[in-house]
Structure 1
Amino acid sequence: MTVLITGATGFVGQALLKELAQRDEEVIVVSGKPRIARSSPSMIWRTLPNYEAIDWLPLLDGVSTIYHLAWSSLPQSSNSDPVGDALDNIVGSLRLIEAANKKGGVRFVFTSSGGTVYGPLSTLPAPEIHRTRPTCAYGVSKLTVEKYLDFYHDLYGFNAVSLRISNPYGPGQSTGRNFGAIATFASLVLDDKPINIYGDGSVVRDYLYISDLVRAIVAAGSVQSQSRVINVGSGAGHSLNDVIDVIRSLTGRSIKVNYLPPRRFDVPISVLDVSRAEVELGWTPIVSFADGIEATLQALSGWSDKRA
């Protein structure tokens, strides 16, 4: 069995690669960045910096599953260049989808965004049938790729699933991109630096530990689910102030927080209903909020457990 993964050098991609390396599967990695030094030597690595020029069909020879993670923008920066976001991500994804459809016999797993495609929620937790109203270009592009996958399914029977993922976190997440509250806050606290929060800290998100997410992605690639859209999250909400409280409790440190004016695109609360994933993928999250934060802290330099 051969799988292909895009976006393998990102936080989720590296965790997925680690899991796939432990399985009896050939992995083709298509990335715009050089090979990760610690990646398995059995992996076939294709460094292709220009996604627009990729001839996908030869790369898909023998491939049975595609995990499409590659994405060039972030929610907070996408509104500054919606055209570039669309060209890079919608058009780039569509080229891969078109090639996979021509090849046939491929399971296509797309990592969408449960945190951005729904927009302001009227139902908590949000089921997959909830209205979609993205408030940033990132969410609009993710939703557009979902719609193209629906289009190819309806027209050609294309075998695809979009995973609407909440807010992943855990060891290995970058702390330098101002993306990922738990890893960023943990790093700042360990460096004795202040935390900047937009708003009063009451914004609630559904935080999902990375190992739980990887299990869901792999399950989606191997299980033929009936639904084309599936939420993947913890099913529980925690505020930014909750994150700080847990870090404070685990580290025993005094934490300086600067509360800044809120951002317009930040929805006040985002929590996902994951019952469909439980039924169709046989998946459920395992790692608790506090345990996940502790594991994230332990992976960062400067950590010491002050509770001992």
Structure 2
Amino acid sequence: MTVLGKMKTTKRFLHMNKLASMNILVTGSKGFIGTEIMKCLQENGYSPDGVDIGDSVDEKKKYDIILHFGARTLIRNSFSKPYEYFEDGLGLTMKYLELARKHDSLFLFPSSGSTAEPSNPYSLTKKQAVEWINLYRKLYSTRVIIFRLFNIYGTTARKGAVYLFTNAALKEQTATIYGDGSHVRDYVNVLDLAKTVLEVVNGNINPGDYEIGSGVGTSVNEVISMVEKVTGKKLKTEKKPFIVDEADELIAHNTIVKNPMKLIDGIKLIRDSLVTENK
């Protein structure tokens, strides 16, 4: 081996050793988003610790980064389980935020893309969590990154309009539309979110508040048209009134996601995954 070759090998070894030595904690590691983050980090040389429901965390271990994705996410369920949402949404956040303060860890928190006044337990816990985080920033100079997530979807979501509509079309089932389908949302693939989290771990994103979206607004009716085009099937639908007040439009205007996946390409991934799954 040449001297140059030995130098490259040594640099690569030192780089991999640095990645392996970084202590990263991912909460909600078995959930839809957490699973993709764990996978992305592992594929890029990191060895994150994951905790989920029923798991315990070594609070004496000093983590360089805490990625807090452990929480309930269905707004509709929060009406019947307000206390559970309080415990998960605020209680767990405080637990890991305090751990970050004690060990001077970088803390990443996913908030909602909406800035409207809370009209449900889920949104209230998110708002209160952000208020606590901002207090920790002010009082203790805790290093925090807040991701304002818009509509995250993916092949393993098992919820959300994009996944549910695609699944219903393939199985010739009826999909439920809340409202008239004209409300516009920003749909961003979970793979894009995972890649952006990787940028945080790589040290390329500084503490602050950021939008995680595609920057493109798509109405529910347009999502249905895309699903029908991709699956080649007419989607049967039923309309119901909104359970909670919904904004007419929610779009990320300053997203930090690089080259976000087009929604129709994401729908194709879901279609292919479901077809393979149901063989």
1:199-251 deviations in Å (ceiling 9; x for gaps)? 11112110001111111122233336455211110111111111110111122
Separation (CA, whole Å) in 2 of partners of 1:240 and 1:208:
14
Q: Cα distance 1:255–1:225, how it changes in 2: closer, same or farther (>3 A)?
A: closer
Separation (CA, whole Å) in 2 of partners of 1:204 and 1:111:
21
Name the counterpart of 1:41. Answer: none
Name the counterpart of 1:112. Answer: 111
Name the counterpart of 1:64. Answer: 64
Separation (CA, whole Å) in 2 of partners of 1:229 and 1:80:
31
| Deviation, structure 1 residue 261 | 2.2
Name the counterpart of 1:164. Answer: 148
SS in 2 for 1:206: strand
Separation (CA, whole Å) in 1 of partners of 2:24 and 2:208:
20
**Does the CA contact (< 8 Å) of 1:109 and 1:221 recur in 2?**
no
Name the counterpart of 1:13. Answer: 34
Separation (CA, whole Å) in 2 of partners of 1:66 and 1:226:
14
**Does the CA contact (< 8 Å) of 1:248 and 1:255 recur in 2?**
yes
Name the counterpart of 1:280. Answer: none
SS in 1 for 2:246: coil
| Deviation, structure 1 residue 303 | 9.0
SS in 1 for 2:84: helix
Which of 98, 119, 132 is the aligned partner of 1:135?
119
Larger radius of gyration: 2
SS in 2 for 1:63: coil
| Deviation, structure 1 residue 156 | 0.9
Task: Confirm or deny that 1:210 pairs with 2:190.
Answer: yes
The letter of the residue matching 2:211 is N
**How many residues end up aligned between the 2 structures?**
257
TM-score (norm 1): 0.78
Name the counterpart of 2:231. Answer: 251
TM-score (norm 2): 0.85
SS in 1 for 2:274: coil
**Does the CA contact (< 8 Å) of 1:297 and 1:303 recur in 2?**
no
Q: Which runs of 5+ in 1 are unaligned?
A: 34-46, 49-53, 120-132, 278-282
Separation (CA, whole Å) in 1 of partners of 2:121 and 2:65:
28
Name the counterpart of 1:295. Answer: 269
Separation (CA, whole Å) in 1 of partners of 2:73 and 2:236:
29
Separation (CA, whole Å) in 2 of partners of 1:290 and 1:263:
28
SS in 2 for 1:29: strand
Q: Which runs of 5+ in 2 are unaligned?
A: 1-21
Q: 1:26-37 maps to which residues of 2 (within 5 A)?
A: 26-32=47-53
Task: Confirm or deny that 1:195 pairs with 2:175.
Answer: yes
Separation (CA, whole Å) in 1 of partners of 2:189 and 2:73:
21
Name the counterpart of 2:76. Answer: 76
Separation (CA, whole Å) in 1 of partners of 2:231 and 2:46:
40
**Does the CA contact (< 8 Å) of 1:15 and 1:210 recur in 2?**
yes
1:12-65 deviations in Å (ceiling 9; x for gaps)? 1111111011122221111116xxxxxxxxxxxxx34xxxxx6x522xx24211
SS in 1 for 2:110: strand
Task: Confirm or deny that 1:23 pairs with 2:44.
Answer: yes
